[in-house]
Copies of this chain bind each other. A is one copy, B any other.
Amino acid sequence: MHNTITTFLSQHLQLSKEEAQAFLELDLVKAFPKGTVLLEEGVLSKSCFVVLKGCVRSYYLVEGEEKNTAFYTENQIVTPISYQNQQPSEYYISCLEDCILCVGSTTKTEQLLNRLPHLEAIGYQLNGQKAIENQRQYEAYKILSPEQRYQKMLTENPELCNRIPQYHLASYLGITPETLSRIRKRIVSQ
């Protein structure tokens, strides 16, 4: 387990051994079975997460329909808007698979920042990257047709396309499962 965490950390943060140790000592890692709801609509988020193993999704509930907005897999950071702005969440987050997550809270983050002040600059960078990524995704969604969005997904995230049930993928792509099925048929027969 410690190994998984340090692997993740080294990929993102270039920490010294002491620094990595600081992370481990905070005891942040927890396991969650498939289906666990990590955050509910209307609730204040107390935690952010890093996926060490498994898959997490976020989704809005609109007129009884779940609308997936993101999937998070190994080494990805899940920071609910509600966690950042301390407003009630507008969406849900739940585990698509059995998960092992690094769970962060404001107090633990504070402790960490106290021990490792230079992490603040890294957070700065991560926020900037996140802003860019969100903008790109938004623009790609607007510009591309459903079929093009699926093609993009296929090339950029082939593993995810196999890992996730199609109806979840369809919801994420903003189409019905039926339409996704037909798109796939079209692509195969070309």
A contact residues vs B (CB 8 Å cutoff): 60, 62, 67, 69, 81, 84-85, 91, 120-121, 123-124, 127-128, 130-132, 134-139, 141-143, 174
Contact = CB atoms under 8 A, between A and B. Distances in A.
A127 B142 CA distance: 22
Contacts of A141: 138, 141-142
A132 B79 CA distance: 10
A142 B81 contact: no
A85 B132 CA distance: 9
6 tightest A-B CB contacts, nearest first? A134-B134, A138-B138, A127-B127, A131-B131, A124-B124, A130-B131
Given A60-B143, A142-B174, 8 more contacts: A60-B139, A67-B142, A120-B121, A120-B124, A127-B127, A128-B131, A134-B134, A134-B135
